[in-house]
Amino acid sequence: METLLKNFCSEEVNKLSSLTEIIAYLRPTDGSNYILANTRLKQFVTILEKEPTLQEDFSRKLSSYIGTLNSRSLFTENGILPPTAFKKELKNRIGRRILPPLLEKESLDYVFDKLFTEKSDGQWLSSLDTVFVQRLIELLWSHALVETKVSLDTQVLASLEIITNRICNLGHDLQVVNMVPDFNNLQSPFFMLNDHTDEIIKTKKNQLPTNLGPVFDETRKLHRSINLFIIRARRNRQKYGITLDITYKLQRMQQLNNRFILLIHCIDPQINYKEPTRDLFLELVTSHSRRYSLSQIIKDNLGILAHQITEHNSRSGEKYITTNRSEYWELFRSACGGGLVVGFLVVFKTLIFYLHTTPFFTTLLYSLNYAIGFVAIYLWRFTLATKQPAMTASTLSQTLELDQKVGDFSKFASLVAKISRSQAIAFAGNVVVAFPVSYCIAALYFYFSGHHIMDVDKAIHSVDDQNPFLSLALLHASIAGFYLFLSGIIAGYTENMSIYYKIPERIVRQPFLRKTFTKEKLAKISHFFKVHAGPISGNISLGFFLGSTFIIGKFLGLNIDIRHITFSAGTFGVALAGLDNIISWADCIFTALGVFLIGMFNFLISFIMSMFVALKSREISLTKIPDMLSALGKQWKTNKSEFFVPKKENKT
């Protein structure tokens, strides 16, 4: 280590190459090896403390080298989203991952790019002992030349001015302001921030004998006010809706505000410069290691939007969870209604197949058949069992969020039991009606026409399609599960956009509609759109997903299709009638098993994906899974029956 330090102090050596060697020595091979990283840091500090001459020389050479570099772009750009839209920045990051940008060689950006090449750099640097890091900062800066300090101060002040202007511009952005319309503009921190920052910059540049203590204190208050503004804007998403552009702008404002306060602390004489310098350095290194990260930008920006979307599903999901026996049997009756509709849809789909139209019109008719049926099930307040997982997952995550705070997951376990029995009874209601209804319609059709709806070859093929050992039924069921999850996301997104763009309120004011309908009728249309736009869009999208998959698979030469538990049960009913009830017991058993497994995969895929999004959007730690499973185990041991049937209500 001592050799590396002396080498850096040599006049003829390349400073950047020498610094790279020093960082490579300090960096542990395993980024999580905190002990080795701290051992090497202590060795570094000890050498400098024991050899004052080396320490003085190293301090001057290092500070002089840093002073010659342009640090403004690092302070104002690194770790801060650019003023572009989310989609454009995502494309830019993909491009930069393929072809990294050219950096100015005389910039601190370029130096960071050469020094911190590993993704783990932020990890091991963050683990270093704070006391030793601050001692090192003091040793490295203690003999810096005056002109070097002035140069760096000038760049920090310039960076501060740039960041302040960007914060204020975002604070006056109409989309952002509309998220907090009750914010008092006369006392807005965005108006005052520029004034206070300008005063600090002018005083520092001109070296005026002004006491800046109160001004620095005021900037900290403004920093907190801006943080409060961002929090309120994000909370108001339920009231006003939110778009990806707004989440991007709020995230950028948050990053700028955090960088602003770090730079303020670095130049405030009331604060020991070593601590904010360490924090700023760590933030810059960590941000540099994530500068092209796609997952980071998606996580930072989609999280809030995902939370708002899943909030819609949470509210819709409550009706799918039964707490007592009356609700339990009401859900069963509702599921029977859903099974009745699906029985007819299966017959209509079979008739469409025998129209032998072009692939386009076949796909269109299949999709419309599904979509109209799903919308009818929704509007008639019936239940399609597989719609439950996407809705109930968000309700479950909401309970988890509360349980995580108190460290008790008993409410979560109780809710799982309620969801389990609700899903089971809904499955039962769908299947026990869809099968006989489709069978009876097919039998009546044969009775009156003398022809089966489904011919023998098609019937045999349909029975085999439900057999998990003879077909890809479980893969196709998984595809349907993904579509069920996706349709839930679309439903939530539509409702969020409806709230954000104030569509129901704008319908009432639309000139043509005002001339055509009475006030009362227009108010009803507006209310209908407000309540039903999300669920209807979700059902229509699900219909088109299910109706087009087979044709898309055929076009691509892939064996992909969908299997849905209720439709599989109904299809078996039509096939059985087409075979004149001539079928082996083995086929019956394997078909029944296939329908059951199709339902399980429909549920599991949709639920797991919905649960994952809901947990991520609420930032619930996955490390709590063992505690959740433990609570579920206790619930199962004490109340097994509650996973299938609610307790009897006490009559008083």
Number of Cβ atoms within 10 Å of the Cβ of 512: 7
Residue 129, helix vs strand vs coil: coil
pLDDT at 312 over 70: no
**What pLDDT digit, counting tens, does each position of 402-433 carry?**
777 777 788 888 888 888 888 899 999 999 99
Highest mean predicted confidence (pLDDT) among 281-295, 405-419, 620-634: 281-295
pLDDT at 316 over 70: no
Flag the least confident range among 284-293, 439-448, 452-461, 612-621.
612-621
Ranges of beta strands (E only) in 318-366 are none
Backbone angles phi, psi at 70, to 5 degrees: -85, 110
| pLDDT > 70 fraction of the chain, expressed in percent and rounded | 94
Name which of 542, 558, 500, 506 is nearest 178 in CA terms.
500
Q: How far apart are CA 229 and CA 189, in angstroms?
A: 9
pLDDT at 536 over 60: yes
Q: How far apart are CA 118 and CA 116, in angstroms?
A: 6
**What pLDDT digit, counting tens, does each position of 7-43 carry?**
888 877 888 899 999 998 888 888 788 899 899 899 9
To which CATH superfamily is domain 306-642 assigned?
Answer: Glycerol uptake facilitator protein. (1.20.1080.10)
Name which of 264, 484, 520 is nearest 391 in CA terms.
484
- Give residue 310's pLDDT band: very low, low, confident or very high (50, 70, 90): low
Q: What is the pLDDT of residue 265?
A: 93
Q: How far apart are CA 156 and CA 263, in angstroms?
A: 7
User: What residue type is assigned to position 475 of the chain?
Assistant: L
Tokens describing residue 570: 């109904």
Q: How far apart are CA 532 and CA 564, in angstroms?
A: 24
Give me the mean pLDDT over the 139-147 stretch: 86
Angstrom CA distances, 67 to 286, 295, 375, 543, stand at 22, 34, 67, 64
The alpha carbon dihedral of 376, 380, 382, 387 has a sign of: positive
Flag the least confident range among 205-209, 557-561, 564-568.
205-209
Angstrom CA distances, 389 to 324, 328, 565, stand at 20, 17, 14
Q: What is the pLDDT of residue 307?
A: 65
pLDDT at 84 over 90: no
Mean pLDDT for all residues in the chain: 88
Backbone angles phi, psi at 107, to 5 degrees: -115, 155
More confident residue, 409 or 469: 469
DSSP 623: G
The alpha carbon dihedral of 614, 619, 625, 627 has a sign of: negative
**What pLDDT digit, counting tens, does each position of 43-71 carry?**
989 998 899 898 889 889 888 888 889 99
| pLDDT > 90 fraction of the chain, expressed in percent and rounded | 46
What DSSP line would sit under 533-556, residue for residue? HHHHHHHHHHHHHHHHHHHHHHHH
**What pLDDT digit, counting tens, does each position of 144-168 carry?**
888 888 888 899 999 999 999 999 9
Q: What is the pLDDT of residue 244?
A: 82
Q: What is the pLDDT of residue 184?
A: 61
Q: What is the pLDDT of residue 582?
A: 93
Name which of 421, 467, 395 is nearest 615 in CA terms.
395
pLDDT at 531 over 70: yes
Number of Cβ atoms within 10 Å of the Cβ of 343: 26
Q: What is the pLDDT of residue 637?
A: 86
Q: What is the pLDDT of residue 302?
A: 67
pLDDT at 459 over 90: yes
- Give residue 319's pLDDT band: very low, low, confident or very high (50, 70, 90): low
Burial of 555 from C-beta contacts in 10 A (0-12 / 13-18 / 19+): exposed
Give me the mean pLDDT over the 179-206 stretch: 83
Q: Say what the pTM is.
A: 0.79
Tokens describing residue 324: 């007592």
Query: Tokens 């001592």 identify what position?
Result: 2
Q: How far apart are CA 453 and CA 450, in angstroms?
A: 10
Residues 153 and 64: beta-carbon distance below 8 Å: no
Cα angle 146, 130, 154 (rounded to 5 degrees) comes to 25
Q: What is the pLDDT of residue 281?
A: 92
Highest mean predicted confidence (pLDDT) among 196-210, 296-310, 459-473: 459-473
Q: What is the pLDDT of residue 308?
A: 64
Give me the mean pLDDT over the 243-252 stretch: 88
**What pLDDT digit, counting tens, does each position of 87-122 carry?**
888 888 888 888 888 888 899 999 999 998 888 888
- Parse the chain into domains and list their residue ranges: 2-292, 306-642
Q: How far apart are CA 21 and CA 414, in angstroms?
A: 58
Q: What is the pLDDT of residue 652?
A: 46
Helix H or strand E encompassing 342: helix 325-353
**What pLDDT digit, counting tens, does each position of 358-403 carry?**
999 999 999 999 999 999 999 999 999 887 666 666 677 778 777 7
Q: Which residues pair with 107 in a beta bridge?
A: 70
Name which of 268, 267, 193, 271 is nearest 226 in CA terms.
193
